[in-house]
Amino acid sequence: EPEVTQTPSHQVTQMGQEVILRCVPISNHLYFYWYRQILGQKVEFLVSFYNNEISEKSEIFDDQFSVERPDGSNFTLKIRSTKLEDSAMYFCASSGWTGLSEQYFGPGTRLTVT
Amino acid sequence: DAKTTQPPSMDCAEGRAANLPCNHSTISGNEYVYWYRQIHSQGPQYIIHGLKNNETNEMASLIITEDRKSSTLILPHATLRDTAVYYCIVCPVEGAQKLVFGQGTRLTINP
């Protein structure tokens, strides 16, 4: 069964450093998403991406964040200058032919900023 | 903010049906009801969705009231592996979906 994969599973970085979180969505999907979950809190939407552009972004997704689909398979989330409060689990998701389709989530990347 | 209300926790005996309620009294005509679950700290997992008719798949059944203001997710024969946080989410039909997760219901299946 196709699945969304994410790398790395755990990333430790120092405050102020740039990080890139990588995702490989399901191959024929058209819609891509990033969510995050701070430990013990709700899953929060960050950004949706369709047709090579951002469809919607949340207040969390400020100019320190960016997304890219550099090739036909990868979808990345970059945080330019990490803060302590960026420590969270980051989930990538993808959905199929329409925005109505269910989203399939990856296993997540745990980002720890020290 | 989430537009749904769910009980924070529920217990169910293994092998019994688990019935998880959700209130979405402000749902609009172009919004579907989706259910996802999160097992421990894994990525959320899609379960089922519906508009106004009852739906069933291999995982669960979804019962939506006629006025669409509430719904119930039914896991017909709960197993220990169904222990998870269950989220009821309303989402518009059009465009890329932004899933707004609430606190969900923490369902514990007891042996």
pLDDT tens sequence for chain A (114 residues): 789 999 999 999 999 999 999 999 998 888 999 999 999 999 999 999 998 999 999 999 999 999 999 887 899 999 999 999 999 999 999 998 665 678 999 999 999 999
Asked if the Cβ–Cβ distance from B93 to A100 is below 8 Å, we say yes
CB-based contact, B26 to chain A, within 8 Å:
no
Nearest to B99 among A4, A37, A103 (CB): A103
pLDDT at B104: 96
- For the CA atoms of A55, B38, A41, A84, the dihedral, rounded to the nearest 10 degrees, stands at -70
The pLDDT of residue B110: 96
Give the chain B residue whose CA is nearest to the CA of A99.
B96
Residue numbers in B near A55 (CB within 8 A): 95-96
pLDDT value of position B111: 95
CB contact under 8 A, A99 and B43: no
- Hey, which bits of B2-76 come out as E strands? 9-13, 18-23, 31-38, 45-50, 55-56, 61-64, 70-75
What is chain B's pLDDT, residue by residue, as a tens digit (111 residues)? Answer: 568 999 999 999 999 999 999 999 999 888 899 999 999 989 999 999 999 989 999 999 999 999 999 999 999 999 999 999 999 999 876 666 789 999 999 999 999
Whether omega for the bond prior to residue A70 falls within 30 degrees of 0, making it cis, is no
Residue B89 distance to chain A (closest CA, Å): 12
Render pLDDT for A14-27 as a digit per residue (tens, 0 to 9).
999 999 999 999 98
| B45, B46, B94 ranked by CB distance to A99: nearest | B94
Out of B32, B97, B102, closest to residue A103 by CB: B97
Is A56's CB within 8 Å of B38's CB? Answer: no
Which residues 69-108 of chain B have a CB within 8 Å of chain A? 87, 93-103
